[in-house]
Amino acid sequence: MPKSRIVLVSMALVLTMALLITLVGCGGGGTSTTATPTKTSTGATTTATKTPTATKTPTPTKTPTATKTPTSTSSSGNTLSDIFGGGKNLGDVKFNSVMTSSQLPQAQTSTMYYQNFGTTGWKSRTETSQEGATSIYLVDYSAQTAYMWTQGDTIAYKMDFSQFAASNPTANADQIHPTHEGTATIDGHPCDIWQWTSQGTTEKMWIWTAKSLPVRMESTTSGVTTTIEYKNIEFGTLSPALFQLPAGVTVTTFPSFSP
């Protein structure tokens, strides 16, 4: 595979993950009437019966078959963006991301930094080391751009967000109504568990209740499950320099890309 395509595939994966994590800032708190929850009861509403004639005894109507309760413990009328805080600013945050999948030869660990997490002005930095090289991915949501740069190189690769419009996991966050699957404690953080299916992919998230921050995610497509866990979460002001390319780096723009 050409180096340019490898670079762009890597950028696509990182950008998708960055967008998914920051649903908290992208949904804007949509209304719960935009879409109806999945598995709506089909037998709960019946056609109104005609009033029987006074001289005839009406034939007893059949009791509607009981509708099966969804497998989740409860169903919420909230949208996904509501659950993620609807734009609540959590400030700056740093954590480690561990991704595992049957499609990966081994777990992939990254260090992630977010500035203004939860707002539409967020920026992120992802550092991933492999085979002695450290790749750095910078995302600026306000500018709708992403950069990939290998530490020590003098060239960075730039991509605009429009190339990811079709796969943007946050695009319809205010129209998705997840089901509540219960609660759990992950690394000492009390979490609510939410699940939904969109565009053929089933997502399950363990969301830190107090922060509206996901600490574990499972994404299943075509029977393949990818798990991402966030560990060593630290809140505190981060240097703006973390989210900028260093001086002297030349930017190369890729005009188009098809995953």
Q: Read out DSSP for 68-127?
A: PPPSSSEE----HHHHTTSS---EEEEEEEEEEETTSSS-EEEEEEEEEETSTT-EEEEE
| pLDDT beyond 70 at 221 | yes
Q: Among 112-126, 152-166, 197-211, 226-240, which stretch is predicted with the lowest mean pLDDT?
A: 152-166
Indicate the range of 33-42, 121-130, 158-167, 205-214 predicted with least confidence.
Answer: 33-42
The pLDDT score that the predictor gives to residue 160 is 77
pLDDT at 104: 85
Q: Which of 14-23, 92-101, 114-123, 133-142 has the lowest mean pLDDT?
A: 14-23
Residue that wins the pLDDT comparison between 255 and 184: 184
pLDDT digits (tens, 9 = 90+) for 43-95: 443 344 444 444 444 444 444 443 333 333 444 568 877 777 666 788 999 99
Domains and CATH numbers, the chain: 3-32+76-253 (2.50.20.10)
CB 191 within 8 A of CB 185: yes
Mean pLDDT to the nearest integer, 154-162: 84
Cβ contact 44:66 at 8 Å: no
This prediction's pTM: 0.70
Average pLDDT over residues 158-162: 77
Compute the mean pLDDT over every residue in the chain, rounded to the nearest whole number. Answer: 74
pLDDT, tens digit, for every residue of 5-28?
444 444 445 555 555 555 444 443
pLDDT for 88: 72
pLDDT value for 82: 77
Is the pLDDT confidence value at 42 over 70?
A: no
Give the pLDDT mean for 137-159: 90
